[in-house]
């Protein structure tokens, strides 16, 4: 059995870079907020490492001393406390304070970087500024500043790193930057201290490394941002072309609809013998024309419906509380004559629950799924519509299962593509427009739904629609009895095979 999951999230930006990417030489505020939160998460990890170091220092203090790490009982705890307070302050500034000139995402990240550099300098001092690789952690902040900021701002961070490392070395060796004031009395002895030369060489080497890292990463960041600009421009061009294509499709569809309606009205006049009697041969031809014209009319209506749904996705829609059981019963009632003509039994077992969505679009979604199940079922088969509520995650899965021709594994990933249909589907349903499931996809996008499809050829197909944030119909009805909050009331149970069993 083939299984596929489809999930669409149209948060107006279909790609990560769309509209929230780069603005000028630096990232936009929305991206900076995400980076600031990532920085906070990273700092929690550092805090965990410091706590672990504190534990190791207590257990194996002698081992750390042999490794060249000077452990002072208080500094890891102090650094941990400072980082915790910094994290709490940054979270408070992001979540609880309104953005202003002095509380912007850029300032938030700047504050985090400066606090981190100060704390890292303390760590480098106590762990070892030369004997251990601790100073190389400065490189991380230089790289991150190149990603978060413009080239000039990241250069400022690189200069700060060089200054802080120099201050650490100066604290450890107070006379590091002073010229010798006297020469040793012993003959043949120079006044230049080899240890001082080693420290200065090490500092100069690391400073060069910091500048090289800044230059390389900042150049790469500029290249990446330029590519993001190009991708954003290309995406906007594609979006504009798609809108123009949709408008052209609507225009052509409207132009086709009027003459087609005239043709069908004339055909109905001939079929009703209002134009005089016609021979059986001509009547047979007329019926074939009417059959094809009916399929064309259905295609036109589907195209118009699809374009209306796409237009709805580009505008703000008023959402309301929708009773899904009522929607499904309404769709089943509408399609029951078609199912009865083929002796197909539709069994409904739906619990009462309410979701927030666009009511008429929910009806379109289930009408298309159920009509597909009827169209591709064998005569005399059955269709089951059932729901399963997960009260812990507040999610519900509504599954429409048919016992028809099924879908091949290679075709399953493409079923939501516009105008896609398989040869087997055409042989079973010649009136298919190929865009019914495209309409379902657009509704799912507009309402942020997930759809799972499982199918086996000649055994049947199951469409499962996943709803999040569901509520009991009775609870929702009581909580929304306020002006401006419409509620779709549940329909009364239907008789026969359409009556809910659970």
pLDDT digits (tens, 9 = 90+) for 443-452: 888 888 999 9
Structure tokens at 210: 């910091």
**Rounded Cα gap, residues 164 and 170, in angstroms:** 10
**Rounded Cα gap, residues 499 and 342, in angstroms:** 20
Q: What confidence score (pLDDT) does residue 475 get?
A: 55
Angle at 310 between CA 425 and CA 469, to 5 degrees: 90
Domain 318-498: CATH architecture, name and number where available: 2-Layer Sandwich (3.30)
Q: Give the confidence band of 185 by pLDDT, cuts at 50, 70, 90.
A: very low
Whether the per-residue pLDDT at 179 is higher than 60: the answer is: no
Reference 438, options 6, 9, 18, 14; nearest CA is 6
Q: What confidence score (pLDDT) does residue 16 get?
A: 40
Q: What confidence score (pLDDT) does residue 183 get?
A: 44
* Predicted confidence (pLDDT) per residue in 276-293, tens digit: 777 888 888 888 888 778
Q: What confidence score (pLDDT) does residue 318 get?
A: 64
CA 271: distance to chain centroid?
54
Tell the residue number behind the tokens 């134009």, with chain if given.
275
User: Percentage of the chain surpassing pLDDT 90?
Assistant: 19
Whether the per-residue pLDDT at 247 is higher than 50: the answer is: yes
* Predicted confidence (pLDDT) per residue in 197-238, tens digit: 888 888 889 999 999 999 999 999 889 888 888 888 898 888
Q: Give the confidence band of 397 by pLDDT, cuts at 50, 70, 90.
A: very high
Whether the per-residue pLDDT at 316 is higher than 60: the answer is: no
Whether the per-residue pLDDT at 378 is higher than 80: the answer is: yes
Q: Give 178 or 153, the one with higher predicted confidence.
A: 153
Would you say the C-alpha torsion 54, 58, 64, 69 has a positive or negative sign? positive
Whether the per-residue pLDDT at 380 is higher than 70: the answer is: yes
Q: Give the confidence band of 66 by pLDDT, cuts at 50, 70, 90.
A: low
Q: What confidence score (pLDDT) does residue 325 get?
A: 92
Structure tokens at 103: 């509380």
Mean pLDDT within 146-161: 88
User: Under a CB-based contact definition with an 8 Å cutoff, are residues 365 and 416 in contact?
Assistant: no
Q: What confidence score (pLDDT) does residue 149 get?
A: 82
* Predicted confidence (pLDDT) per residue in 477-492, tens digit: 555 444 444 444 443 3
Mean pLDDT within 95-107: 83
* Predicted confidence (pLDDT) per residue in 11-37, tens digit: 444 434 434 444 445 567 777 888 888
Structure tokens at 485: 């909050």
User: Percentage of the chain surpassing pLDDT 70?
Assistant: 78
Whether the per-residue pLDDT at 71 is higher than 60: the answer is: no
Q: What confidence score (pLDDT) does residue 502 get?
A: 36
- Residue 327: CB partners within 8 Å, gap ≥ 6? 359, 362, 363, 366, 488
Whether the per-residue pLDDT at 174 is higher than 80: the answer is: no
**Rounded Cα gap, residues 93 and 85, in angstroms:** 12
Q: Give 495 or 123, the one with higher predicted confidence.
A: 123
Whether the per-residue pLDDT at 195 is higher than 80: the answer is: no
User: Under a CB-based contact definition with an 8 Å cutoff, are residues 9 and 448 in contact?
Assistant: yes
* Predicted confidence (pLDDT) per residue in 421-463, tens digit: 777 776 776 666 677 788 888 888 888 899 999 998 888 999 9
Q: b/e for 454-485, b at 16 or more Cβ within 10 A?
A: bbebeebbbbbbbbeebbebeebbeeeeeeee
User: Residue 402: how many CA atoms within 13 Å on its side-chain side?
Assistant: 23
Mean pLDDT within 185-201: 64
Question: What Rg value do the Cα atoms of the chain yield, rounded?
Answer: 35
Whether the per-residue pLDDT at 194 is higher than 50: the answer is: yes
Other C-beta atoms lying within 10 Å of the C-beta of residue 393: 10
Across 231-240, 290-299, 301-310, 489-498, the highest mean pLDDT is recorded for 231-240
Whether the per-residue pLDDT at 328 is higher than 90: the answer is: yes
Instruction: Work out whether strand 382-390 and strand 345-349 pair parallel, antiparallel, or are unpaired.
Output: parallel
- For the ranges 151-165, 166-180, 415-429, 476-490, the lowest mean pLDDT is seen at 476-490
User: Under a CB-based contact definition with an 8 Å cutoff, are residues 492 and 352 in contact?
Assistant: no
Q: For residue 441, which phi and psi values (nearest 5 degrees)?
A: -60, -45
Whether the per-residue pLDDT at 146 is higher than 50: the answer is: yes
Other C-beta atoms lying within 10 Å of the C-beta of residue 159: 14
User: Under a CB-based contact definition with an 8 Å cutoff, are residues 327 and 396 in contact?
Assistant: no
What residues does each domain of the chain span? 18-175+193-238, 239-312, 318-498
Q: How far apart are the first and last CA of the chain?
A: 27
């Amino acid at each position: 059995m083939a299984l596929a999951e489809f999930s669409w999230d149209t948060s107006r930006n279909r790609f990560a870079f769309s509209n929230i990417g780069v603005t000028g030489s630096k990232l936009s505020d929305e991206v900076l907020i995400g980076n600031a939160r990532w920085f906070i998460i990273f700092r929690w990890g550092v805090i965990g490492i410091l706590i672990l170091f504190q534990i190791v220092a207590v257990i194996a203090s002698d081992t750390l001393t042999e490794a060249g790490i000077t452990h002072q009982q208080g500094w890891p705890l102090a650094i941990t406390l400072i980082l915790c307070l910094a994290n709490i302050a940054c979270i408070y500034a992001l979540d609880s304070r309104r953005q202003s000139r002095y509380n912007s995402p850029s300032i938030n990240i700047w504050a985090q970087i400066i606090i981190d550099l100060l704390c890292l300098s303390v760590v480098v001092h106590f762990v070892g500024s030369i004997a251990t690789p601790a100073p190389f952690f400065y490189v991380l902040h230089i790289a991150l500043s190149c990603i978060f900021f413009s080239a000039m701002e990241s250069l400022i961070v690189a200069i700060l790193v060089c200054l802080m490392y120099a201050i650490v070395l100066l604290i450890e060796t107070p006379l590091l930057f002073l010229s010798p004031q006297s020469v040793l009395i012993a003959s043949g002895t120079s006044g230049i201290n080899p240890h001082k030369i080693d420290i200065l060489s090490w500092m100069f080497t690391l400073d060069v490394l910091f500048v090289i890292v800044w230059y390389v990463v900042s150049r790469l960041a500029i290249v990446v941002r330029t590519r993001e600009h190009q991708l954003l421009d290309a995406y906007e061009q594609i979006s504009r072309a798609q809108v123009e294509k949709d408008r052209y499709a609507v225009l052509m569809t409207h132009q086709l609809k009027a003459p087609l309606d005239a043709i069908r009205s004339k055909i109905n006049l001939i079929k009703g013998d209002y134009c005089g009697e016609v021979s059986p041969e001509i009547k047979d031809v007329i019926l074939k024309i009417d059959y094809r014209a009916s399929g064309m009319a259905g295609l036109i209506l589907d195209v118009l419906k699809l374009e209306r749904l796409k237009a709805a996705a580009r505008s703000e829609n008023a959402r309301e509380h929708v009773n899904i059981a009522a929607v499904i019963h309404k769709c089943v009632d509408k399609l029951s004559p078609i199912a009865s003509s083929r002796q197909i039994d539709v069994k409904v077992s739906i619990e009462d629950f309410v979701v927030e969505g666009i009511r008429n679009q929910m009806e379109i979604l289930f009408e298309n799924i159920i009509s597909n199940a009827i169209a591709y079922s064998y005569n005399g088969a059955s269709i089951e519509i059932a729901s399963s509520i997960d009260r812990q995650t507040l999610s519900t899965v509504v599954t429409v299962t048919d016992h028809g021709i099924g879908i091949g594994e290679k075709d399953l990933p493409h079923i939501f593509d516009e105008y896609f249909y398989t040869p087997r589907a055409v042989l079973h349903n010649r009136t298919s427009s190929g865009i019914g499931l495209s309409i379902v996809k657009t509704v799912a996008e507009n309402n942020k739904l997930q759809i799972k499809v499982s199918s086996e050829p000649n055994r049947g197909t199951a469409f499962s629609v996943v709803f999040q944030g569901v509520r009991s119909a009775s609870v929702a009805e009581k909580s929304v009895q306020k002006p401006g909050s419409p509620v779709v009331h549940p329909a009364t149970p239907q008789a026969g095979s359409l009556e809910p069993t659970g």
